[in-house]
Amino acid sequence: MTTDTRSDTRPAGGRRFARVGRVLPVALVQVVGTVAATRWAAGVGPGAVGAGGPPWTERFGDGVDPVLLGPLAWVLLVGGIVVLPFRWRWPVVVLALTLGTTIGYALVVSPRGPFVAALTMALANAWFRGHRVPTYVAAAVAQVVLPSADTLTGRAPFPTVTTMTLCLAWLTVTIAVTELVRVRVARAADARRARLAAEQQRAGAERVRIARELHDSVAHSMSLINLQAGVALHLGAELPEQTRESLLNIRDSSKQALVELRTILGVLRAVDASSGTSDRTPVAGLDRVPDLVDRARLAGMDVELRLDGPVETVAGVVSRNAFRIVQESVTNVMKHAPDHHASVVVDVGAEVVDITVTDVPAPVAIGAGAPRTEEAPRGHRSSSALARAAGQHTVTEQADGGSGSSPGNGLVGMHERATAVGGTLAVGPTPDGGWSVHARLPIGEPARTASGATETTA
């Protein structure tokens, strides 16, 4: 049975180093060690005397004449190393090729030095990846042929017990050490999976708790608002038309908010369920911007909308975040500068969607002879001043460790929604005293900037 105990999630550079870089020490040991052992056996190295050969032939008076490495020997010695980088993709094939080159080298040249280094790595790799039967077969062939190579070629009378024992010990240690490593890796992988499952379980419990709190607090309050607005419309037949329109807008807005909140709560509770449940759209997208502008107009806001490009091509989280940025910007104008003229421009391009929301102060009527000073009414501040105050308050609150009575999270929320999809956000006052919000979001895959920060215009 073939079982791979690892899932390779490393980047491409790490995988290339693991496949090629780890072969370099093996190549160094096999080539340099074998060449050094051959030169020593030939009487070239320091301290060499007379004829050389394997240790098990020194007991015979005539010894074994050393065989210098010829072209075929070099090809066989290096051939087993060349195929090692492919050991992860074809472990059994690499094992067979390495075994063949090692046996061929032992038959061509009297075995000396660490000429089995490549075969050791191939055996360990095949065993580690679960190819038990091919590893056993390769080990059995190596146990029979390698100690008998000189005997098979007539270079020695017969293999000794020491040679057979050393070969068996080498194969046993290789398989045993590889099995220990495999077990440790498998246990580490099981521990990681257990930790991930525990974290997912805790996250799921936290999502359920948040959904329950939202339902018990926000949903209850929104239901009361919707109900009371409906009752007021039913009983207030004599109310002025503008008041009835405001109540109607409150009822419709609260109803829509309840629908979106109910969908969000369903996603929070079913995020770990089947994909068919979790793929549904939890909130409105860019296609709902006209409805948002219509509700703002019903509330008495002077707002202009311009949609350029196919809005339906923007989908998923980009569409939802774009809608929330428009919604937050329009809401800020309604809260802080209700007498300003607002403009909403959504430009959908081939790769990005540009969102621009600006508000322009209404012209101030100045009477004849009156001083040309434009002082805001008491209790009213311009949107730029309020935004700067909100920004200062947010910074002060963060510096104080979260203390503060009414933190402004509108700009922070828009910033987070833009960066979440790899986009940018630019906010700041306009020369005519208004305020401008510009967001650029990529339609495709998120492509963060190098710094990961948004552009902010002070």
* 185-191-195 Cα angle (round to 5): 145
Q: Which residue has the higher pLDDT, 18 or 320?
A: 320
Residue whose C-alpha is closest to residue 408's, from 388, 423, 433:
388
* Highest-confidence segment of 110-119, 152-161, 356-365: 110-119
Q: Can you tell me whether residue 167 is helix, strand or coil?
A: helix
Compute the average pLDDT of residues 97-101: 93
Compute the average pLDDT of residues 8-34: 70
Query: How many whole angstroms separate alpha carbon 282 and alpha carbon 320?
Result: 9
- Other CB atoms within 10 A of residue 299 CB: 16
Backbone angles phi, psi at 428, to 5 degrees: 165, 165
Task: Provide CB contacts within 8 A for 145, sequence distance 6+.
Answer: 103, 106, 152
Per-residue DSSP letter, 304: E
Alpha-helix runs per DSSP H in 87-219: 91-108, 117-128, 132-145, 149-152, 161-214
- Other CB atoms within 10 A of residue 95 CB: 25
Residue 73 scores a pLDDT above 90: no
CA dihedral 195→201→203→205, nearest 10 degrees, is: -150
Compute the average pLDDT of residues 146-166: 81
Reported pTM = 0.48
20-29, 276-285, 381-390, range with the lowest pLDDT: 381-390
- The pLDDT, as a whole number, for residue 121 is 92
CB half-sphere exposure, 95, CA atoms < 13 A: 26
Question: DSSP letter string over 174-193?
Answer: HHHHHHHHHHHHHHHHHHHH
Residue whose C-alpha is closest to residue 324's, from 207, 441, 452:
441
Q: Can you tell me whether residue 438 is helix, strand or coil?
A: strand
Query: How many whole angstroms separate alpha carbon 441 and alpha carbon 20?
Result: 40
- The pLDDT, as a whole number, for residue 269 is 66
Residue with tokens 């063949």: 100
Compute the average pLDDT of residues 170-176: 93
Residue 346 contacts residue 307 (beta carbons within 8 Å): yes
18-22, 282-286, 391-395, range with the lowest pLDDT: 391-395
- The pLDDT, as a whole number, for residue 278 is 43
- The pLDDT, as a whole number, for residue 364 is 54
Long-range CB contacts (within 8 A, 24+) of 272-275: 272/200, 272/204
Task: Provide CB contacts within 8 A for 339, sequence distance 6+.
Answer: 361, 362
Q: Which residues of 378-408 are buried (b: 16+ CB within 10 A; e: fewer)?
A: eeeebbbbbbbebbeebeebeeeeeeeeeeb
Residue 191 scores a pLDDT above 90: yes
Per-residue DSSP letter, 2: -
Q: Which helix (H) or strand (E) holds 80?
A: helix 71-82
- The pLDDT, as a whole number, for residue 387 is 43
Compute the average pLDDT of residues 11-29: 70
- Other CB atoms within 10 A of residue 16 CB: 12
Average pLDDT, the chain: 74
pLDDT in tens, 273-305: 544 444 444 567 888 888 888 888 877 788 899
Q: Which residue has the higher pLDDT, 330 or 272?
A: 330
Give the sign of the dihedral formed by CA 163, CA 167, CA 172, CA 174: positive
Query: How many whole angstroms separate alpha carbon 189 and alpha carbon 399?
Result: 41
Per-residue DSSP letter, 153: T
Residue 136 scores a pLDDT above 90: yes
283-287, 290-294, 354-358, 408-412, range with the lowest pLDDT: 408-412
Residue with tokens 């895959």: 445
Number of residues that this document lists for the chain: 458
- The pLDDT, as a whole number, for residue 457 is 35
- The pLDDT, as a whole number, for residue 401 is 38
Q: Which residues of 140-153 are buried (b: 16+ CB within 10 A; e: fewer)?
A: eebbebbbbbbeee
Residue 417 contacts residue 324 (beta carbons within 8 Å): yes
Task: Provide CB contacts within 8 A for 222, sequence distance 6+.
Answer: 254, 257, 258, 261
